[in-house]
A and B are shown apart, each in its own frame.
Chain A
Amino acid sequence: MATETLTLGKALNTGLRRALENDPKVIIMGEDVGKLGGVFRITDGLQKDFGDQRVIDTPLAESGIIGTAVGLAIRGYRPICEIQFDGFVYPAYDQIVSQVAKMHYRSGGRLSIPMVIRIPYGGGIGAVEHHSESPEAYFAHTAGLKVVTCANPQDAYVMIQQAIASDDPIVFLEPKRRYWEKGQVDLDAPLSEAYPLHSARVVRPGTDVTVLAYGPMVRTCLEAATAAAEDGRELEVIDLRSLSPLDLTAAYESVQRTGRAVVVHEAPSNIGLGAELAARITEKCFYSLESPVLRVTGFDTPYPAARVEEEYLPDLDRVLDAVDRTFGW
Chain B
Amino acid sequence: MAKGDPGGTTRSRRAAPRSKKGAAGDPELVQLLTPDGERIESHTSPDGTEYRVDFTDEEYRGLYRDLVLVRKLDAEATALQRQGELGLWASLLGQEAAQVGSGRALRAQDMAFPTYREHGVLYCRGIDPIMPLGLFRGVDQGGWDPNEFKFNMYTIVIGAQTLHATGYAMGITMDGKTGTDDGEAAIAYFGDGATSQGDVNEAFVWASVFNAPLVFFCQNNQYAISEPLERQTRVPLYQRAAGFGFPGVRVDGNDVLASYAVTRTALDNARHGQGPSLIEAYTYRMGAHTTSDDPTRYRIASEVEAWQAKDPITRVKAFLEKQQIADAAFFAEVDEQARRESVHLRERVLDMPNPEPVTMFDHVYPNGSPLLDEQRAQFTRYMESFEGSAH
The answer to whether the Cβ of A184 comes within 8 Å of any Cβ in the partner chain is no
**Which candidate, A100-108, A119-127, A213-221, A299-307, is the interface stretch facing chain B?**
A100-108
Q: Are A168 and B209 in contact (CB under 8 A)?
A: no
The answer to whether the Cβ of B341 comes within 8 Å of any Cβ in the partner chain is no
The answer to whether the Cβ of A59 comes within 8 Å of any Cβ in the partner chain is yes
Q: How far is the CA of A67 from the CA of B204 in the complex (A)?
A: 12
Q: Are A67 and B203 in contact (CB under 8 A)?
A: yes
Q: How far is the CB of B310 from chain A (nearest CB, A)?
A: 34
The answer to whether the Cβ of A64 comes within 8 Å of any Cβ in the partner chain is yes
Q: Are A106 and B166 in contact (CB under 8 A)?
A: no
Q: Are A111 and B147 in contact (CB under 8 A)?
A: yes
> Which residue of chain B lies nearest to A114 when distances are taken between CB atoms in the complex?
B366
Q: Known contacts being A198-B370, A245-B371, is A67 close to B171, with CB within 8 Å?
A: no
10 intermolecular pairs with C-beta atoms under 8 Å apart: A63-B163, A63-B202, A64-B206, A68-B170, A72-B174, A73-B167, A111-B146, A144-B364, A146-B365, A168-B366
Q: Known contacts being A98-B157, A99-B157, is A67 close to B140, with CB within 8 Å?
A: no
Q: How far is the CB of B108 from chain A (nearest CB, A)?
A: 16
Q: Are A71 and B366 in contact (CB under 8 A)?
A: no
Q: How far is the CA of A114 from the CA of B365 in the complex (A)?
A: 10
Which of A109, A110, A246: most chain B Cβ within 10 A? A110
Q: How far is the CA of A91 from the CA of B197 in the complex (A)?
A: 12
The digit string for A240-257, where 1 denotes a CB below 8 A from any CB of B, is 000011110000000000
Q: Known contacts being A59-B205, A71-B170, A72-B171, is A108 close to B141, with CB within 8 Å?
A: yes
Which of B153, B160, B162, B164: most chain A Cβ within 10 A? B164
Q: Are B198 and A107 in contact (CB under 8 A)?
A: no
The answer to whether the Cβ of B181 comes within 8 Å of any Cβ in the partner chain is no
Q: Which residues of A contact B (CB under 8 A)?
A: 27, 53, 58-59, 61, 63-64, 66-77, 79, 91, 94-95, 98-99, 103-112, 114, 143-144, 146, 166-168, 198, 244-247
Which of B167, B203, B362, B367: most chain A Cβ within 10 A? B167
Q: Are B366 and A109 in contact (CB under 8 A)?
A: yes
In the complex, chain B residues whose CB is within 8 Å of the CB of A144: 364-365
In the complex, chain B residues 365-379 whose Cβ is within 8 Å of any chain A Cβ: 365-367, 369-372
In the complex, chain B residues whose CB is within 8 Å of the CB of A61: 202, 205-206
In the complex, chain B residues whose CB is within 8 Å of the CB of A53: 174
Q: How far is the CA of A76 from the CA of B184 in the complex (A)?
A: 15
In the complex, chain B residues 162-196 whose Cβ is within 8 Å of any chain A Cβ: 162-172, 174-175, 186
Which of B147, B186, B372: most chain A Cβ within 10 A? B147
Q: Which residues of B contact A (CB under 8 A)?
A: 113, 140-143, 145-147, 152-153, 155, 157, 160, 162-172, 174-175, 186, 198-199, 202-203, 205-206, 209, 362-367, 369-372
Q: Are B171 and A71 in contact (CB under 8 A)?
A: yes
> Which residue of chain A lies nearest to B174 when distances are taken between CB atoms in the complex?
A53
Q: Are A74 and B164 in contact (CB under 8 A)?
A: yes
Q: How far is the CA of A98 from the CA of B165 in the complex (A)?
A: 16
Q: Known contacts being A68-B167, A98-B160, A144-B365, is A74 close to B146, with CB within 8 Å?
A: yes
Q: How far is the CA of A192 from the CA of B197 in the complex (A)?
A: 42
Partner of B367, one of A71, A73, A167: A167
In the complex, chain B residues whose CB is within 8 Å of the CB of A198: 369-370
Q: Are A94 and B160 in contact (CB under 8 A)?
A: yes
A63-B198, A63-B202, A109-B362 provided; 13 other pairs, C-beta below 8 A?
A53-B174, A59-B205, A67-B166, A70-B164, A72-B167, A72-B168, A75-B175, A98-B157, A104-B366, A108-B363, A112-B366, A167-B367, A245-B372
Q: Known contacts being A59-B202, A64-B202, A245-B371, is A71 close to B363, with CB within 8 Å?
A: no
Q: Are A106 and B141 in contact (CB under 8 A)?
A: yes
Partner of B369, one of A68, A98, A112, A146: A146
In the complex, chain B residues whose CB is within 8 Å of the CB of A75: 167-168, 171-172, 175
Q: Are B371 and A246 in contact (CB under 8 A)?
A: yes
